């Protein structure tokens, strides 16, 4: 009898050790739940979310579930969404746009968080001397295109212009960062620069009317401006817009030096797979970027009498309809 008891105890110990040893190992049949918090619905953010989800669907098929939530532009709703994700103990969070990232970073220190459509992580998260790695449980991708080259684009396309208005949402930290950098570069090129800020969608028309008194308008990658691009277009008349991203340009701009947000989302999805598969630790993952491309809005250029053949000769491609 003692031999039997000893055998059973030994067997139980081996079983427990094996179980503990495999507790952190991802099994091929594991189900995954990913929380997606997107600030607002507009073309750029939608494309980033789609690219992210497409990559993960290709990898995991029906083994992955997405909790895809949109905050409709409300910062407090981002917090509510993140709290729901943490209560449900999702395996990873995608935070699409800066307020979503800020809410996620405040909401959990244990669930991996990947940001996307974030212009500058140091500014977004209040990190001084940001070195490219957030650390802890946060990493992601940036939609920052070269701001000096966007300023050069204003000079290239409108060499006779004297004044440039920068139209942006004052409540978006990353917009403020872009305004500072672009303004500096525009002034180096000899432009007189006017900042035309608005606090939310309710006063965008007033700010856009003010901006339209300049020779050229510059709009950075700004979520509120993107969601109000059609409104802006209806206010500015024939004042040309250089946009920080393709979605804004498609609705009210002449040209842009823009990334592909779908590709940005795909890159973020590939980062997620490395985390979920245990190939990399998120605290060591550097922020990733994608290439920017010069594009023009054919309809808007024709409306303003801008030579599209000359643009294409200089490396611009038309935005697809």
Q: pLDDT tens across 135-163, in order? A: 999 999 999 999 999 999 999 999 999 99
59: left (phi over 0), alpha (psi -120 to 50) or beta: alpha
CA pseudo-torsion sign 252, 258, 260, 261: negative
Measured CA distances, 102 to 140, 222, 225, 260, 291 (Å): 13, 16, 20, 23, 25
pLDDT tier, 19 (very low <50, low <70, confident <90, very high otherwise): very low
User: Domains in the chain, start-ordered, CATH in brackets?
Assistant: 32-143+261-284 (3.40.50.2300), 147-258+293-318 (3.40.50.2300)
Contact 48, 268 (CB under 8 A): yes
Measured CA distances, 180 to 16, 85, 212 (Å): 59, 35, 20
Measured CA distances, 69 to 54, 89, 95, 144 (Å): 16, 15, 10, 24
Burial tier of 232 (Cβ tally within 10 Å: 0-12, 13-18, 19+): buried
Question: What φ, ψ does residue 9 adopt, rounded to 5°?
Answer: -65, -40
Residue 95 pLDDT > 60, yes or no? Answer: yes
Mean pLDDT across the chain: 91
What is this structure's pTM?
A: 0.82
* Pairing state between β 92-96 and 32-38: parallel
pLDDT for the residue 320: 83
């Amino acid at each position: 009898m003692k031999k039997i008891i000893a055998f059973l105890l030994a067997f139980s110990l081996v079983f427990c050790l094996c179980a503990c040893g495999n507790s952190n190992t991802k099994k091929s049949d594991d189900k995954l739940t990913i929380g997606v918090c997107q600030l607002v619905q507009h073309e750029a953010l939608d494309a980033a979310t789609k690219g992210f989800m497409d990559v993960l669907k290709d990898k995991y098929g029906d083994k992955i579930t997405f909790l895809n939530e949109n905050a409709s532009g409300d910062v407090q709703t981002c917090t509510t969404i993140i709290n729901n994700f943490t209560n449900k103990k999702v395996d990873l969070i995608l935070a699409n746009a800066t307020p979503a990232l800020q809410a996620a970073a405040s909401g959990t220190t244990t669930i991996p968080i990947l940001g996307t459509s974030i212009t500058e992580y140091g500014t977004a998260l209040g990190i001084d001397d940001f070195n490219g790695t957030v650390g802890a449980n946060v990493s992601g991708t940036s939609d920052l295109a070269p701001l000096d080259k966007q300023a050069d684009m204003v000079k290239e396309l409108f060499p006779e212009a004297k004044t440039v208005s920068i139209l942006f949402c004052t409540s978006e930290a990353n917009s403020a960062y872009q305004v500072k950098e672009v303004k500096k570069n525009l002034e180096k090129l000899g432009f007189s620069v006017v900042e035309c800020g608005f606090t939310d969608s309710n006063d965008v028309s007033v700010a856009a009317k003010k901006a339209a008194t300049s020779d050229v308008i510059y709009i950075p990658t700004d979520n509120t401006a993107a969601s109000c691009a059609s409104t802006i277009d209806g206010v500015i008349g024939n004042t040309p817009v250089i946009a920080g991203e393709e979605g804004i340009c498609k609705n009210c701009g002449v040209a842009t030096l823009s990334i592909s947000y779908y590709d940005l989302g795909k890159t973020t999805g590939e980062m997620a797979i490395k985390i979920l598969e245990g190939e990399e630790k998120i605290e060591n993952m550097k922020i990733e970027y994608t290439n920017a491309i010069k594009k023009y809005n054919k309809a808007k250029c024709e409306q303003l009498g801008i030579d599209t053949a000359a643009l294409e000769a200089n490396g611009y491609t038309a935005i697809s309809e």
